[in-house]
Amino acid sequence: MTTSNKIALVTGATRGIGLETVRQLAAAGVHTLLAGRSRDGAVQAALKLQAEGLPVEAIALDVTQAASIAAAVAEVEQKHGRLDILVNNAGILIDDPTLKVSQQTQDTWRRTFDTNVFGLIAVTQAFLPLLHRSAAARIVNVSSVLGSVTLHNDPSSPIYDFKVPAYNVSKSAVNAWTVQLAYELRDSRIKVNTLHPGYVRTDMNAGEGAMDIPEGAHTSVRLALLGEDGPHGGFFHLDQALPW
């Protein structure tokens, strides 16, 4: 299947890495669905990319709302009949950096997991039937190096002192879910991987970071466009495998 025949959907795609992932997939010829919690927001973002001549379509999808997920699946099935690429990009970081690990509120934990974990799983479950209709589907779960338990337990690692626990643990859960799903899909035509985009200058980290947004989208796009010989069930940044 050529890229021009593929249908992709990117969640949390109205800004930042998600929006750039849509741009790069569409630039590669993939018909890409730009998903946002608000249809108006998704349409506004999609129109800008359409004006650049890119094959982008807006779709409303709130990963925390079952009815929104179901409506999105029904829309994709009606319009396209299948899905070839699902990029689970939507995520939040709402830990209070002034609080200790044990002091983060239950509300912070619940809201973080509702989006970063339960929403990601719910979207994947809902779209799996359409992904199974693809000749070679790809599921890409956007995680973070901050989800690496190995590195958090290593005093010499660069993230050892960076403890935003609800976010970190949610990304560890995303990695663990990826491994479990990869086992289920091991004999299918679907590849699933998880990734660290890099320390990217986005709204999520108040513009701090070491990478520009276009570079931050590279790993998502690479995993979305994997060939038949590509990895399955791994955790990557660019071409580098990361420790769980």
- Residues noted as catalytic: 167, 171
How far is it, in rounded angstroms, from Cα 198 to Cα 204? 13
CB contact at 8 A, 45 and 19 = yes
Cβ contacts of 10 within 8 Å, gap of 6 or more: 18, 21, 22, 25, 32, 33, 34, 35, 87, 89
Q: Phi/psi at 57 (nearest 5 deg)?
A: -130, 135
How far is it, in rounded angstroms, from Cα 9 to Cα 57? 9
State the DSSP code for 217: T
Q: Is 185 left (phi over 0), alpha (psi -120 to 50) or beta?
A: alpha
Strand pairing class (191-195; 235-237): parallel
